[in-house]
Structure 1
Amino acid sequence: MATTGESSAATKDPGWRKAGMFKGIGLPVPSGPHQVGSVDVMPLCKGDDSGLLFRLYYPTEATPDSGYHYPPWLPDSCYAKGYMLQKMPSFVAGAVGSLATMFCGQNIAALYGAPVKTSTPLPVIMFSHGVVGMRTTYSAVCCDLASHGYLVAAVEHRDHSSGYCYTKCKKDGSQEFVDHWIPYGKPPSSGVEELIFRFQQLTIRRKEILLGLDFIQQLDGSGEFENLLQSDFDFKQFKGKLDLVHTAMMGHSFGGATTVTALADDKRFRVGIGLDTYMMPVEDGIEDKVEQPLLFINSWTWQWPKSVIKMKRIVDVGPRNDKYPTRQLITIRETNHEDHSDVGFILPSRRSPVSPDVTTILRTNMKLCIAFLNRHLWEDSTYPVKDLDESDTDSSGIVYHGTNVKIESKV
């Protein structure tokens, strides 16, 4: 079963930039100055005998006219089953095939297998998906970051939090690797048991992120590794071309919890960004271990007091860098949890009449993220970051500084 990102459903898209949108998916053109390339990789890493799965997003100078194509948003039909059973459980199994066909017609705005543009070393962002997500669920965010000159490594986690997850395992004790699919693992219904279940998953996620960063360092060093996916892509293009001094960690929901945990455990990450972070599995007292700058961007409708209190404990202990705080909590008005992902562009959703459109949400998110990275990862005090400062008013009117969640003073 092919799942290398180059399925037969992927075709050239002659209308690659039409009215500011990518034909077939409706994702906005990335806001940075660079075109974006992508490639899947499953390196066999020390400490993991089944390989880690990434989608790498990076700057490129290639265009569709040079023979590269925009890959399908859905790498394999199995992912459609995972999405539908978890996001839209009312769909019967027989509908999955038709929905998979629909998804396979949607393309990601990152040319698959295109050569890497590395006139300057690429800083690195590790990206962790949320529950039911995968390596392409946040393609709009990852492509936008890559268009600003970053290598973004979107991990597909093997902790049973993905709707479906793809890996390879050795067959019957032999040295031959065969395809293996990992289904979604439904958590226990009990609140305490669910937290234990999620904490165990978070432990796996932490290991995968740290092994993933080890791999990125190996990619920059020798450029040589064992790739369990068949690929003609020359990964040695990255050799000596990655900026491992400027490395950030980022994620959505459960990926936000993964971000906080990774910052606490590995100081190679200089900055963190959590999108609508699911804080409940994060250990108490972690605010004493997180030293790096950290930005939380929340949705308007999803967060609750206990989760926000854990965020605020981290934010409130953050030092100030000159006149700017290194920890910030921002909320985007009238937004939903999945507005931080591609889901709003792909699946039909019921939106409030006062909700901003998904393109505006993405643009606002990216403006905040790029501003925070420029200020704290690059320590650039000249970068225009008014949307990060409480004293200024965001032009879109949807940036709310702090949280809209009501927290009782006795809590």
Structure 2
Amino acid sequence: MFQLNKRVSECVKALHVLEEINLGQLHVDNVVMGKDMDWLQFKGRLNLSRAFVAGHSFGGATAVAATAFSTDFQAAIVLDGWLYPLDSGHYERATQPTLFLNAGRWQYPENLERMGKLRNVAEKPMFTLKDAEHQTFTDFPFLVNSFIGRRMKLHGETPPETAMEAIVDITVSFLNREQDSEAALTQLVQEKYQTFIVDGFPSDIMNSKPGQLT
């Protein structure tokens, strides 16, 4: 819990720094890198009424906890989230729209149950990249060739470029869409990515525990 709270506090601090930049009140003495940058060029140019938070794995739990802590975060993106650190209070307070993108080769029943609790509170669409690994959502798959990447379980049969294009496309569509329904997202997936992405998390690709295929 301490680590989760620490991570949330860092997210909140980052948002406060953006607010200082937007107000033209950033204290340059506190800047580690970029002291020579003209920070005043950003004054009044940041739309902080649409602040979002995103995270992968433990970062996914952090994103959810951040929305539970502050409504200043208008939405969250959970990339193959590991939600074990969340407590009951987070499930009750995290009511902002949240997108779940999961890896079919990593997620497991207990973790999906936690996601289900969150999805019962507010609109939270979920999609699964069927043959994706936990690291598919990171830049690791781009650092090695495809054969080694598959052997190291950094990605599945879907090329990393294709998977990442879909992840970015769905994420941007979720954040840009009108807050009415998830129908547009479902249509996007069906039209462009139905060969390797499915709505929800089908039981036929369920894992018994993290990293183990059925």
Give the TM interval when normalised to the shorter protein.
0.7 to 0.9
User: In 2, Cα distance between the equivalents of 1:200 and 1:299?
Assistant: 27
Please give the TM-score of this superposition, normalised by the length of structure 2: 0.83
Whether 1:280 aligns to 2:68 is no
Cα deviation digits, residues 235-276 of structure 1 (max 9, x gap): 222111100111111111111111000000000111111100
Distance in 2 (alpha carbons) for counterparts of 1:241 and 1:313: 37
Aligned to 1:329: 126
For 2:160 and 2:175, the matched residues in 1 are separated by 22
- Please give the residue correspondences for 1:161-172 in structure 2 after superposition, counting only pairs within 5 Å: none
Structure 1 Cα separation of the partners of residues 125 and 169 of structure 2: 15
CA distance 1:283–1:224, shift in 2 (3 Å): same
1:105-150 superposed Cα distances (whole Å, 9 cap, x missing partner): xxxxxxxxxxxxxxxxxxxxxxxxxxxxxxxxxxxxxxxxxxxxxx
Q: What aligned pairs does 1:37-76 form with structure 2 within 5 A after superposition?
A: none
In structure 2, the partner of 1:399 is: 197
1:345 and 2:137 equivalent?
A: no
The answer on whether the counterparts of 1:371 and 1:385 sit within 8 Å (CA) in structure 2 is no
TM-score, length-scaled by structure 1? 0.45
Alignment of 1:203 onto 2:5:
yes
Match of 2:158 in 1: 356
Letter in 2 for 1:350: R
- Corresponding pairs, count: 198
Instruction: Give SS of 2:94's match.
Output: coil
Does the CA-based 8 Å contact 1:223-1:238 persist in structure 2? no
Partner Cα distance (1:392, 1:200) in 2: 37
- Which has more strand, going by share of residues? 1
> CA RMSD, aligned part only?
2.6
Asked if the contact 1:332/1:400 (under 8 Å) is kept, the reply is yes
Gaps of 5+ in 2: 209-214
**Matched-pair contact (CA < 8 Å) for 2:61–2:85:** yes
- Would you say the 8 A contact 2:24–2:42 is kept in 1? no
Q: CA deviation at 1:282?
A: 1.1
Displacement of 1:404 after TM fit?
Answer: 3.5
In the alignment, what sits opposite 2:177?
375
Of structures 1 and 2, the one scoring higher in RCO (CA 8 A, sep 6+) is 2
TM-superposed CA distance for 1:286, in Å, is 2.2
Please list every run of 5 or more consecutive structure 1 residues that lacks an aligned counterpart in the other structure.
1-198, 319-325
CA distance in 2 between partners of 1:295 and 1:302 (Å) = 17
Using a 3 Å threshold, how does the CA distance of structure 1 residues 335 and 391 change in structure 2: closer, same or farther? closer
Change (3 A) 1:380 1:305: closer
Q: Which has the larger radius of gyration?
A: 1
| Cα offset, 1:213, TM superposition | 0.7
